[in-house]
Amino acid sequence: MKIAFIGQPNAGKSTIFNGLAGYKTMTANFPGQTVHYTVSKVKVGDETFEIVDLPGIYSLTAIDMAELESRKYILSGQADVVINVIDASTLSRSLELTLQLTELQVPMVICLNMIDEARRKGIEINSEKLSQIFGVPVIETVANKGIGLDAIFVSAKQAYHKRLIPKIQPFHKDIEEKIEEIEQIITDEFLRNIPRRYMAVKLLEGDRELFEEIEKFPEIIEKIKTIREEIKKTHGRHADTVISSERHALTMNIFEDVAKVGQPLKSFRERIDDLLTNKYLGYPLLFLILFGIFFIVFEVGKIIEEPITDAFDSLSQKLPGFIEENTLLYFIVKGLIEGFSGGVGVAIPYLIPFFIGLTVLEDIGYLPRMAFLMDTIMHRIGLHGKSILPFVVSYGCNVPGVMATRILESPRDRFITATLSVLIPCAARTTVIFGLIGAYIGGLAAAGLYLFNLFVIMILGAVLTKFIPEVTPGLIMEIPPLRMPALKNVFMKTWLRLKDFMLVAWPLLIISSITLSFLEYLKIDLILNKIFAPLVSLVLGLPEQTGITLLFGILRKELSMIMLFQAMHTTELNTVMTDLQLIVYTIFTIFYIPCVGTMGVLLKELGFKRMILISGLTIVIALILAVISRIILSMVI
């Protein structure tokens, strides 16, 4: 049996999915987290269920790519049962999507998630009455605590075996008559197994995608246009607005039937929320929160890193006692130790506290508040406020950051946001900043580099939007309530992110380290460094040995730092490179060409030409910034 979870953004679909399937997707307390669907198989007793986590959508009218993806999946008929996940604390608004889902005529279960949040707001919902109205099972859950999840499979089986198709809630008589008229003129050839009523309502609404398809049937499209005009004349508003008003009236009626609203409990969280989004205090608090996380990551990382690197340095120094120097075996074992120690030195000290900090910010619900605070600034550089979400996600990894641009409606906004997202210091670039600037120059210098990065991104965003002008609409985004992060969720999400590093990046680190050692053994590294010498030494003013390390950075950014240790034959880089050289090297590394994984997702999301354009642009930016930094900083350092 295939079960699809569908609901509005931030209703908790991914949290439920993870609770049932074991943690396989990232969830966060901000809208638009899931931009592609995830599938998993779950065995319950003797039965195996395939569950699907669809992107959050507000309606079945596809406005952005996430909504289009969800709609296509449901209309494909693949799902045997649909679980409509609703944030119970926003029931009146959420039921508008439920009304649209009823038109798909698929067995359904309504899941009232975050029922505790609703009660805290003083909303008491009569689930039995709601079940009677729609004719499908209604269950109550608190997904982040695992409450009520066991009822999902039981209810899904009940809906599937008893064919519990949700009851359609009719509009006013005159609108129903127009829908019926359209139902009668739609041909079976056009329907393609899509429910006739759903098709009629969407055509009445003027759904863009369906209208493009129906152009092949000119006689039908003319009749539909006539019916839409008749509604406009009788109601004084466009047909889509009339349908939307009908749905809104229905949801309010249902809400008043099934819910009682009492006095909400004034909580400490709401007072904190007022401070976090205050137009005066919000910005300094934003700075303090980000700086606090940065400071903790740096300080904790520094304490843990030193004994680990000392232990491996000691092992490397003792290596000639076991294996004869300058032999192939010696170089390979040396590369193996350096690659292994680089992974341990990076993952444990810096990545773990960074991932924990990012997860806590996500799960608390601070990221949408950041988007709210930054909306004005984003509009000043010509971007939609939603662009902040891909940017924030990119601080973890640029790959999901680029994928998150799907939440933007405009192709122009997606292109510019993707271009800027690949310049955000991801976890790998953060490692380079911590490992080179933080460790050898100091925490303030590392923080300054972050601010410099933000400044560059804002300037570049302003330039790009000037060359590709377009009026951006205002930000309409749900601000979820602040929530205490579940310890288990924080642990599992940190583990998932760390696992990606350990399974993908760490082996690459070790293989690259051994490869570099092999090149050193064959003296090929000297040839490659000579080829890159004009750029590395003359333009950037760096030691010639650093040339080959930049090649490895294309695979994973942290590789450039690990290879730098190996190329310079020491972990005490400050003894062989000046502060100026460390800064110039770091600036070039964090801005130049995206890693292979990011280029792959750019290719998929934007196409080959734009992937090449963005990659080329980053090289130019990295060169300009590194040269300017070299010139200016040489006067003060």
Binding residue numbers for Mg(2+): 18-19, 22
CA distances from 325 to 318, 563, 569 (A): 11, 20, 14
Nearest CA-CA partner of 406 in 138, 104, 24, 35? 35
Q: Are 549 and 567 in contact (CB under 8 A)?
A: yes
How would you label 128-160 residue by residue, b for 16+ Cβ within 10 Å and e otherwise? eebbebbebbbbbbbbbeeebbebbbebbbbbb
**Which residue ranges make up the annotated binding site?**
7-14, 18-19, 22, 53-56, 113-116
Q: Are 356 and 490 in contact (CB under 8 A)?
A: yes
First to last CA, the chain: 66
> How would you class 297 by CB atoms within 10 Å of its CB: exposed for 0-12, middle for 13-18, buried for 19 or more?
buried
Full strand arrangement of the beta sheet holding 138-141: 38-44, 47-53, 2-7, 81-87, 108-113, 138-141
* Count of CB atoms situated within 10 Å of the CB of 125: 21
| Helices of type H across 135-194 | 150-161, 173-185, 188-191
Q: Are 417 and 391 in contact (CB under 8 A)?
A: yes
**Which residue ranges make up the annotated binding site for GTP?**
7-14, 53-56, 113-116
Nearest CA-CA partner of 124 in 134, 137, 115? 115
Q: Are 580 and 571 in contact (CB under 8 A)?
A: no
Sequence-distant (≥ 6) Cβ neighbours of residue 515 within 8 angstroms? 335
Sequence-distant (≥ 6) Cβ neighbours of residue 623 within 8 angstroms? 539, 588, 592
Sequence-distant (≥ 6) Cβ neighbours of residue 281 within 8 angstroms? 275
Angle between helices 282-318 and 352-364 in degrees, nearest 10: 160
Sequence-distant (≥ 6) Cβ neighbours of residue 120 within 8 angstroms? 89, 264, 265, 267
Phi-psi region of 114 (alpha: psi -120 to 50; beta: other; left: phi over 0): left
Write phi, then psi, for 48 (nearest 5 degrees): -115, 125
Q: Name the residue with tokens 């583990």.
A: 495
Name the token pair of 543: 């030691």
